[in-house]
Structures are given as structure tokens and as C-alpha cells.
């Protein structure tokens, strides 16, 4: 089986993901990315006009793809509890499969500052919509869905950060996805009502 050789642009994208996951956005320069890829800085500018455009293109292409995956996975289930479990499972699988991409998409701070004003695709938007629908159908009690969505995201992201502390080999999240899903369900359902 022939595995296609990544293009220079794909190598640049991957290098940006790895460096930003390790150092943060502000600590990574175009020179750092070029060095990791093994090309000149000028070669980067043939693919991306500047660092902001590079980061935003790499972020949106990966984030949009992941958001579509989450949308698809949760749509397979009728009830919120199952929807949340499928989304948490997908997040855990992404962490275990590609930790740097997980960090780049969900942990690296300040990526949204590169967002165009009309960009609205996001995991918080999906969670907000699911929680509003579930509350309107009586599946969960009325609640501040923005706060609940933030708490769910915090539950997943903080668990991932804890796993990262075990470098050089982070702990795996997928084996704990059922417990993590249950925690997210407790958030929206209320501990006294489970």
C-alpha cells in the first residue's frame, strides 16, 4: 500500500500544529515552522501570506472537519445523554490518536483572535443548540445553557490537560470516556436528578 507523501503545505500545517501545541501561538514564529519543515522561510510565504493566515487556515480546516464529525456522530442518537456520550468519545479518541491536534484545536489559547467576524462554527455552538433543544423538550431541566456548555467543555478539556501532565507519554482518555460522559450528563441533568 502506497502512503502518499505529504505536500509541502501539509508539512507546514502539521509543523504549525505541533509547535503551537507545544509552545503556544505567541511563542511560534514562521522561522520556527520553516526550520521544523526543513524549508526556507520564503517557501512558507508561497503557501501562506503571514502567520495569522497560516494559523487560521490550519485551524479552520481541522476544526471544521472535527465539528462536522461531532455533528455526524451525535446525530445518530435521539437522546441528549447518548449525543453527549458520542461527542465525548470522539474528543477522547482525537486526544489519543493525535494529541497535538487536540491541543491545537481545543486547548491552545487565543486562536479565536484570528477568526473573521462571521465565523460561527464551533463546539460551543453545537453544545448550546443541543442543550437548548433538550431543555425545550423537557429532557433536561431549564438552565443557563451557555454555562452548562462551558462546564461540559471544561470537563473534557481539564481531563485532557491532566492526561498531558504525564508526558512524555500522556495518559489515554478513551478508556475513561464513559466516566467522563457521565460527568457531563451530571452537569446538565443535576446531581440530585440522575
Determine contact, residues 62/105, Cβ cutoff 8 Å: yes
pLDDT value for 3 = 78
Each of the 194 residues of the chain gets a pLDDT tens digit; together they read 677 888 999 999 999 999 999 998 889 999 999 999 999 999 999 999 999 899 989 988 998 899 899 999 999 999 999 999 999 999 999 999 999 999 998 887 566 666 655 566 678 888 999 999 999 999 999 999 989 999 999 999 999 998 888 767 778 999 999 999 999 999 998 854 44
- CATH code of 59-193, in short, is 1.10.357
Query: Who's near 113: CB < 8 A, 6+ residues apart?
Result: none
CA count, 13 A, side-chain hemisphere, 50: 2
* Residue found by looking up cell 487565543 in the block: 110
Q: Nearest CA to 13 among 68, 62, 46, 49? A: 62
Question: pLDDT tens digits for 80-123?
Answer: 999 999 999 999 999 999 999 999 988 875 666 666 555 666 78
Query: How far apart are alpha carbons 37 and 7 in whole angstroms?
Result: 11
Furthest CA-CA distance within the chain: 60
Q: Nearest CA to 34 among 7, 16, 59? A: 16
pLDDT value for 120 = 63
Q: All 3 cell numbers of residue 22?
A: 507545544
Share the mean pLDDT of the chain: 89
Residue ranges per structural domain of the chain: 59-193
Q: What predicted TM-score, i.e. pTM, was given to this entire model?
A: 0.88
Query: How far apart are alpha carbons 102 and 84 in whole angstroms?
Result: 18
Q: All 3 cell numbers of residue 92?
A: 477522547
17 sits in the region (left: phi over 0; alpha: psi -120 to 50; else beta) called: alpha
pLDDT value for 194 = 42
Determine contact, residues 80/140, Cβ cutoff 8 Å: yes
Query: How far apart are alpha carbons 121 and 81 in whole angstroms?
Result: 22
Amino acid at each position: 500500500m502506497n502512503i502518499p507523501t505529504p505536500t509541502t503545505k501539509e508539512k507546514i500545517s502539521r509543523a504549525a500544529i505541533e509547535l503551537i501545541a507545544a509552545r503556544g501561538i505567541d511563542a511560534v514564529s514562521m522561522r520556527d515552522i520553516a526550520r521544523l519543515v526543513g524549508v526556507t522561510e520564503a517557501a512558507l510565504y508561497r503557501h501562506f501570506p503571514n502567520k495569522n493566515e497560516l494559523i487560521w487556515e490550519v485551524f479552520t480546516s481541522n476544526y471544521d472537519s472535527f465539528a462536522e464529525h461531532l455533528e455526524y456522530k451525535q446525530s445518530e442518537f435521539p437522546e441528549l445523554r447518548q449525543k453527549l456520550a458520542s461527542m465525548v468519545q470522539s474528543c477522547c479518541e482525537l486526544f489519543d490518536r493525535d494529541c497535538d491536534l487536540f491541543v491545537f484545536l481545543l486547548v491552545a489559547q487565543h486562536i479565536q483572535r484570528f477568526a473573521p467576524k462571521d465565523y460561527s462554527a464551533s463546539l460551543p455552538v453545537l453544545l448550546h443548540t443541543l442543550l437548548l433543544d433538550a431543555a425545550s423538550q423537557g429532557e433536561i431541566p431549564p438552565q443557563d445553557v451557555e454555562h452548562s456548555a462551558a462546564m461540559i467543555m471544561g470537563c473534557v478539556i481539564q481531563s485532557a490537560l491532566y492526561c498531558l501532565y504525564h508526558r512524555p507519554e500522556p495518559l489515554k482518555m478513551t478508556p475513561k470516556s464513559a466516566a467522563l460522559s457521565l460527568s457531563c450528563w451530571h452537569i446538565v441533568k443535576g446531581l440530585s436528578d440522575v
